[in-house]
Amino acid sequence: MAFAATLAREAELSGIGLHGGLPCRAVFRPAPSGQGIRFFRSDIAGSQPIPASLECVNSTVRGTNLSRGGAEVYTVEHILSACAGLGISDLDVLLDAPEPPIIDGSALAFARLFREAGIKFYATPLKRFTITAPVSYSDGPVSYSAEPSAGPEFFCIYESKHPLVRHQELSFGFGPGDYEARIAPARTFAFEEELDYLRANGLAKGGSLENAVVIRRDSFLSGEGGLRFPDEMVRHKLLDMLGDFLLLGAPPGRVKITARGGGHKHNIAFARRLLDTFSLTED
């Protein structure tokens, strides 16, 4: 049986946000069992905590953005993904800017920070979401399905017409250490032809080859000289999916989720469909 968990001590890191390009100090504080994950805008006096909840999602443009009472936080999926991967159910996240640090474009820095701070387990059993009948969602070439399973499983497919990407697929089942080794290091990416559009729309102001992979016609560009994995794209898609699905308020339990294509908009749409049918269990 899994148990609710938080950090053993406070931890922090700093950097710039991916889209806004603003510097941000992120502080992670232990939280009591049953509270859940909350974001705070420490730079806005008197602002309300923003629960990591589907109810607070206000945008999914190139990231998952939350708001409450006039305060907003952008691109929260990497922090939430690290929480999902390490089993952290209760945490306060204080940001002194609208967007957390992008660091290297993956969730690895957050996962390592949480490990270094230590994970404190409560005596309270961890509630997970599960389903008893299949659930599906589709929108054009994008499709998701969920079905009852013996344990949490994901099967993710990412396809592109780009000759260097084509078809990538990945199975993931939360084995010991799997998240930190296989998912957390996968970085955000963009196709070269998207860059002008992103910048013209006020996005990716903090983007660089130090925190993203750029897919050119004949090569992959990054500060490390290439990819960390041959299938880094589908791994990052799953990284984002794990973070977005944590907005259900619980990690996956006895459920297998299959996704073809996707993105934040579709992750949230499917999560909302799951919200209408799932139940919480302690096994």
Q: Which of 19, 78, 264, 266 is catalytic?
A: 264
Tokens 């909302």 sit on residue: 272
Question: How crowded is residue 64: how many other Cβ atoms within 10 Å of its Cβ?
Answer: 25
Q: Is 264 a catalytic residue?
A: yes
Structure letter (DSSP) for residue 179: I
Sheet holding 57-59, edge to edge: 57-59, 65-68, 71-73
Q: Minimal CA–CA distance to 11: which of 91, 117, 88, 102?
A: 117
> Burial, 5: exposed, middle or buried (Cβ in 10 Å; 0-12, 13-18, 19+)?
buried
Tokens 């957050």 sit on residue: 110
Q: Which active-site residues does the annotation give?
A: 264
